[in-house]
Amino acid sequence: MIVLGIESSCDETGVGIVDLADDGTVTMLADEVASSVNEHARFGGVVPEVASRAHLEAIVPTMRRARETAGIDRPDAVCVTIGPGLAGALLVGVSAAKAYAAAWDVPLYALNHLGGHVAVDTLEHGPMPPCVALLVSGGHTHLLRVDDLGSPIGELGTTVDDAAGEAFDKVARLLDLGYPGGPALDAAARDGDPTAIAFPRGMTGPRDARYDFSFSGVKTAVARFVEKCVRAGDPVPVADVAASFQESVADVLTLKAMRACEDLDVDTLVLGGGATANSRIRSMAEERCAAAGVTLRIPRPRLCTDNGVMIATLGAHVIAGGTPPSTLSVATDPGMSV
Ligand code: KG4
Ligand code: ZN
């Protein structure tokens, strides 16, 4: 069965195509992404109107490219992200999905973006046992419990303020590192001392929610530190600030992920989302998983950022699990939870 997935929840227009075999194996046939990230750079963050317009321009050519790459005229099912995400951006993908599903007379599956970030790992690492998933990107920070990709996923915790990637971008801006700042901050941190500045670890006190996150405190602490340097006429130690900030975020993320694995007696941790490209988040997760005897699964960076093939892959698992399709009147759900 050929399954096509459309993703348009943020600034990436993605169309992916997978083959779902009778034994449940899912194989990637196409993964086409058009990003509007450069159009947002001068604003220092994603501008919803700009993203929606870029999706409108990109959706048809991206669909065409994906079908050409996969060598198929029409799929057997169309899947689409209905949320969470930017309302106008989601509308473009969902409208396109409905139009194509109706024109091709194939079923439509309305899917959750977060489930896609988890499911995409099966393309690289095969069937997924019950696991904890940690999703970190510019738009989300979620700790999830996954028993079966074909069934609803449970949320253990999320951020009460900024997403982790958003905090990276904001701190990178404070340090004049450009946009999107995550990769630049990661690079700057390489020359810094992660123990130079003791930035706070948000929501890690004994009375704090066990699985929720907060990154506004560490972001404010960085802002205060930078202000203090400027006021004193001292140069900002960019590498040390970057390394110390990154250490705080990686520490909190992996601490809570390991805690969830231990509490739930789960021995597999899956990472997903664009910020899992961060070198320290990866290395700390590797160290802590190795110490705890937990298997760590991280898809390659290309699959961690937003794309259509993650939606096609989730769709394949949902279809294999026997979930009925959606109707053509299904609506977008920008605030959708898992
Ligand atoms: O998944 P993604 O491509 O889009 C969203 O759904 O947000 O993630 C992009 C986010 C941005 O905030 C970016 O700064 C962050 O992931 N990011 C990183 C790194 N690479 C990307 N953050 C920290 N370190 C990195 N190496
Ligand atoms: Zn995402």
Is the same domain home to 99 and 149?
no
Q: Is the CB of 277 under 6 A from ligand 1?
A: yes
So what's the pLDDT on residue 138? Answer: 86
So what's the pLDDT on residue 285? Answer: 98
| Cα 37 to Cα 125: distance, rounded to the nearest angstrom | 29
123-181, pLDDT tens digit by residue?
999 999 999 999 998 888 999 999 999 888 999 999 999 999 999 999 999 999 988 89
The range of the structural domain enclosing residue 224 comes to 129-302
Is the same domain home to 92 and 141?
no
Q: Are 280 and 250 in contact (CB under 8 A)?
A: yes
Sign of CA pseudo-dihedral 209, 213, 214, 219:
positive
Å from CA of 10 to ligand 2 middle: 8
DSSP β-bridge partners for residue 134:
143, 271
Residue 293 to residues 83, 261, 268: CA-CA distances in angstroms? 34, 10, 9
Q: For a pocket test of ligand 1, which of 305, 307, 309, 336 has the largest count of ligand atoms closer than 8 A to its C-beta?
A: 305
Is the same domain home to 286 and 316?
no
Q: Which residue has the tokens 């997403």?
A: 163
- Binding positions are 113, 117, 135-139, 169, 182, 186, 278, 306
Is the same domain home to 147 and 295?
yes
* Model ipTM value: 0.96
| Cα 20 to Cα 319: distance, rounded to the nearest angstrom | 9
For ligand 1, atom 2, name the residue with the nearest CA: 274
45-97, pLDDT tens digit by residue?
889 999 999 999 999 999 999 999 999 999 999 999 999 999 999 999 999 99
Average pLDDT over residues 220-242: 97
Asked if residue 325 has pLDDT above 90, the reply is yes
For ligand 1, atom 22, name the residue with the nearest CA: 182
Q: Is the CB of 275 under 6 A from ligand 1?
A: yes
Is the same domain home to 159 and 183?
yes
So what's the pLDDT on residue 317? Answer: 97
Q: What does the radius of gyration of the chain's CA atoms come to, in whole angstroms?
A: 20
Q: Are 305 and 12 in contact (CB under 8 A)?
A: yes
For ligand 1, atom 11, name the residue with the nearest CA: 138
Asked if residue 43 has pLDDT above 90, the reply is no
Q: Is the CB of 137 under 6 A from ligand 1?
A: yes
Q: Is the CB of 192 under 6 A from ligand 1?
A: no
So what's the pLDDT on residue 204? Answer: 96
H helices, E strands: number in the chain: 12, 10
Q: How confident is the model at residue 221 (pLDDT cuts 50, 70, 90)?
A: very high
Is the same domain home to 87 and 38?
yes
So what's the pLDDT on residue 178? Answer: 85
Q: How many domains does the chain have?
A: 2
Which among 332, 297, 299, 323 has a CA at the least distance from the CA of 6?
Answer: 332
So what's the pLDDT on residue 234? Answer: 97
Three-state DSSP string of 245-296: HHHHHHHHHHHHHHHHHHHHCCCEEEEECHHHHCHHHHHHHHHHHHHHCCEE
So what's the pLDDT on residue 114? Answer: 94
Q: How confident is the model at residue 36 (pLDDT cuts 50, 70, 90)?
A: very high
102-126, pLDDT tens digit by residue?
999 999 999 999 999 999 999 999 9
Strand pairing category for 268-272 and 131-136: parallel
Q: Counting atoms of ligand 1 from 1, which one is nearest the CA of 46?
A: 7
Burial class of residue 267 (count of CB atoms within 10 Å of its CB; 0-12, 13-18, 19+) = middle
Mapping DSSP to helix (H, G, I), strand (E, B) and coil, where does residue 183 land? helix
Which among 97, 135, 101 has a CA at the least distance from the CA of 115?
Answer: 135
Q: Is the CB of 299 under 6 A from ligand 1?
A: no
Is the same domain home to 144 and 111?
no
So what's the pLDDT on residue 151? Answer: 85
Is the same domain home to 149 and 115?
no
Asked if residue 44 has pLDDT above 90, the reply is no
- Name the amino acid, one letter, at 219: K
- Averaged pLDDT of the chain: 96
Mapping DSSP to helix (H, G, I), strand (E, B) and coil, where does residue 37 land? helix
Asked if residue 41 has pLDDT above 90, the reply is no
Stated pTM of the model: 0.94
CATH code: domain of residue 290: 3.30.420.40
